[in-house]
Amino acid sequence: MAEEKKIKLKKTSKKWQAYEISGEELKRKNRSCPKCGVGIFLAKHKNRETCGKCGYTEFVSKSS
């Protein structure tokens, strides 16, 4: 008897969440990475912004 293959479900891409449409213009929501350039965004975390490609990190200071 042949064993059944397990199918792994892939998560869908959420690139559409990084952009905003205002009229005829396409606006980027997140900042671009200063090392990698335009098209590579910094991910927003609780206390920092990081690049997933090169590892560039900026820590956000608390303003209290």
Q: Does 7 reside within a domain?
A: no
Are 55 and 48 in contact by the 8 Å Cβ rule? The answer is no
Give residue 52's pLDDT. 92
Give residue 64's pLDDT. 54
Q: Does 60 reside within a domain?
A: yes
Selection from 41, 46, 40 nearest residue 61 by Cα: 46
Give residue 53's pLDDT. 94
Q: Which domain holds residue 55?
A: 31-64
Question: How confident is the model over 1-56, as pLDDT tens digits?
Answer: 567 888 889 999 888 888 899 999 999 988 999 999 988 989 999 999 999 999 99
46 dihedral zone (left: phi>0; alpha: psi -120 to 50; beta): alpha
The answer, yes or no, to whether residue 63 has pLDDT greater than 60, is: yes
Q: Could you give the number of structural domains in the chain? A: 1
Q: Which pTM value belongs to this model?
A: 0.63
Q: Does 53 reside within a domain?
A: yes
